[in-house]
Chain A
C-alpha cells in the first residue's frame, strides 16, 4: 500500500497569514503515460464529510477559493492557504488515488493562532 505522510500534525496560524501543509508519498504518484499526478487534498470540519479542495495535485475544485493552491510532483506535495480565513479551520488530508487502496495521510489540524 502507498503510505502518505503529512506534516505537521497540527498548525496554528494567524488570520490573514499563510498556512502550508506537506504530504509525502512512499512512491511516485505521477502516471507518466498520462502526465497526471494522482493526489487530492480535502478539508474536513467536525461532523461533516471531507470536502475536496484540490485534485491532480494542483487543480482547484469548482467553487474552492483561490487562496487554496496545491503543488508538488512525484512524491512531495504541498497545500498552501495564502491568507487564512476563520472558516479554514479544521483537519486537512491528502489522499492518493494512483492505486487502490486509495490511502490518506494522517491529517493536519489547522487552528487560528
Chain B
C-alpha cells in the first residue's frame, strides 16, 4: 500500500523560504520510472503542478516558478523535499505531494500553508 504525507510549516512570513518534506512508503524512488511530484491548490481552483523528481534524479520544474523551486530526494529515507524561496501571500494554499507511476496514482492528504507577517 502506497502512502505519502506532507510535512513542514503551516505559516511562513513573506520573503521567507518554504521547505516541505514528502515522506512516503510502499514504493522505492530508486525503482525504474518512479517519480514524486509536488502540487499546490488554492480554494476553488485546479491543482497547479510545481515540480517532479524521477528515480534517476531527473528534475522538472514549473517554468513560472523555476527560479524559486528546488526538489531533492533522499532514497534511503524515502523522502522528497521541495523548497520555495521568497514566499508571497499569493503562494498560500494546500500543498500536495503525489506518487507518479504513470499518472499521479496516489496523493498525500495535503498541507495548508499560510503566508502572512
A residues at B contact (CB < 8 Å) = 1, 40, 42, 48-52, 55-56, 59, 61, 93, 95, 97, 100-107
> Could you tell me the distance between the alpha carbons of A1 and B63 in the complex, rounded to whole angstroms?
9
Name the residue on A nearest B100 (C-beta).
Answer: A97
Contacts known (A50-B47, A93-B46); A102 close to B37, Cβ less than 8 A: yes
B residues at A contact (CB < 8 Å) = 37, 45-49, 52, 60-63, 96, 98, 100, 102-110
Contact partner of A49 (CB less than 8 A), chosen from B37, B102, B110, is B110
Contact call A104/B105, Cβ cutoff below 8 A: no
> Could you tell me the distance between the alpha carbons of A49 and B109 in the complex, rounded to whole angstroms?
6
Contact call B102/A101, Cβ cutoff below 8 A: no
Contact call B60/A55, Cβ cutoff below 8 A: no
Contact partner of B96 (CB less than 8 A), chosen from A49, A101, A106, is A49
What is the distance, in angstroms, from B60's C-beta to the closest C-beta of chain A? Answer: 4
What is the distance, in angstroms, from A7's C-beta to the closest C-beta of chain B? Answer: 14
Q: A48-B109, A101-B49, A105-B46 are in contact. List 20 more A-B contacts (CB 8 A).
A: A49-B98, A49-B107, A49-B108, A49-B109, A49-B110, A50-B104, A52-B103, A55-B102, A56-B103, A59-B102, A61-B105, A93-B46, A97-B100, A97-B102, A97-B103, A100-B60, A101-B63, A102-B37, A104-B49, A107-B46
